[in-house]
């Protein structure tokens, strides 16, 4: 298991929008927990199965609510680590707007192409990590790791490696689900579609000069010599 806990990105502004988003997500999730029955949320909070379109709260609820406390905490760790830097780079309004756009894309993709209902912020957060890997591919991510409950410690690696490994895991799980009947219990379609949406949006923002790297940064396009 590898869990990120910090990045070495100097921030141009306080990531207030991300902090508010985390508070709102935690508040909404805790408010929704009593409506969970056997670990499954009521359908009005999420895009559920093959008939999601009749719920007015679905696109919002599927991003803001979580199945349980561990689901919420895991997502908030990733949002804190990667969302702060992306919020500081984009500004508050653009960050919030793109976060919910990524959440909507990942929720719809999960409902259309997966048997796993869309629930939780992971698809939207995957969009943020997709942006992070474009904006800060060579910046260092500090991670805590443990294996077999014996080998554990901390490690600092480039963002490209950490986010790339998580994306590769989701793709591998999806392939296994389609070919072997393996059930990961994770909304991998939401993760994959969110990451690709964020990756594409970040490239578009750089190519249109809506977002520019500082002298201390190097974007993925600069790393590969495209921009």
DSSP secondary structure letters along 79-139 = HHHHHHHHHHHH-HHHHHHHHHHHHHHHHHHHHHH-SS-B-SSHHHHHHHHHHHHHH-TTS
Give pLDDT, residue 73.
94
List, in order of start, the domains of the chain with CATH numbers: 2-223 (1.20.1540.10)
| All residues at 6 or more sequence positions from 10 whose CB lies less than 8 Å from its CB, including other chains | 214, 216
Give pLDDT, residue 68.
83
Report how far residue 26's alpha carbon sits from residue 31's, in angstroms, rounded to the nearest whole number. 9
Q: How many of the other CB atoms lie within 10 Å of CB of 101?
A: 15
Give pLDDT, residue 49.
45
Give pLDDT, residue 55.
54
Give pLDDT, residue 184.
65
pTM: 0.89
Whether the Cβ atoms of residue 26 and residue 120 lie closer than 8 Å to each other = no
Give pLDDT, residue 193.
93
Pairing between β-strand 140-147 and β-strand 151-158 as defined by DSSP bridges: antiparallel
- Give bridge partners of residue 161 from the DSSP assignment: none
Enumerate residue ranges in the chain where pLDDT < 50. 49-50, 52-54
| All residues at 6 or more sequence positions from 160 whose CB lies less than 8 Å from its CB, including other chains | 133, 137, 138, 220
Report how far residue 217's alpha carbon sits from residue 37's, in angstroms, rounded to the nearest whole number. 47
Q: Quote the Cα angle for 197-169-120, to 5°.
A: 55
Give pLDDT, residue 54.
46
Report how far residue 77's alpha carbon sits from residue 181's, in angstroms, rounded to the nearest whole number. 30
């Amino acid at each position: 298991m590898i869990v990120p806990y910090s990045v070495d990105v100097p921030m141009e502004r306080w990531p207030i929008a991300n902090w508010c988003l985390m508070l709102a997500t935690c508040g909404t999730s805790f408010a929704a927990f009593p409506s969970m029955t056997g670990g499954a949320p009521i359908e009005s909070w999420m895009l559920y199965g093959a008939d999601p379109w009749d719920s007015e709260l679905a696109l919002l609820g599927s991003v803001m609510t979580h199945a349980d406390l561990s689901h919420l905490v895991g997502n908030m760790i990733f949002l804190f680590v990667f969302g702060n830097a992306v919020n500081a780079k984009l500004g508050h309004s653009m960050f919030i707007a793109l976060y919910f756009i990524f959440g909507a894309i990942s929720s719809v993709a999960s409902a259309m192409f997966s048997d796993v209902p869309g629930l939780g912020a992971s698809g939207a957060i995957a969009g943020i990590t997709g942006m992070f890997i474009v904006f800060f591919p060579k910046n260092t991510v500090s991670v805590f790791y443990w294996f077999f409950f014996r080998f554990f410690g901390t490690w600092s690696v480039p963002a490209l490696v950490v986010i790339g490994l998580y994306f590769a895991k989701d793709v591998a799980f999806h392939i296994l689900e389609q070919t072997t009947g393996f059930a990961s219990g994770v909304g991998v379609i939401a993760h994959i579609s969110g990451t690709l949406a964020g990756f594409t949006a970040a490239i578009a923002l750089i190519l249109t000069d809506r977002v520019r790297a500082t002298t201390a940064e190097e974007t993925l396009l600069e790393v590969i010599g495209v921009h």
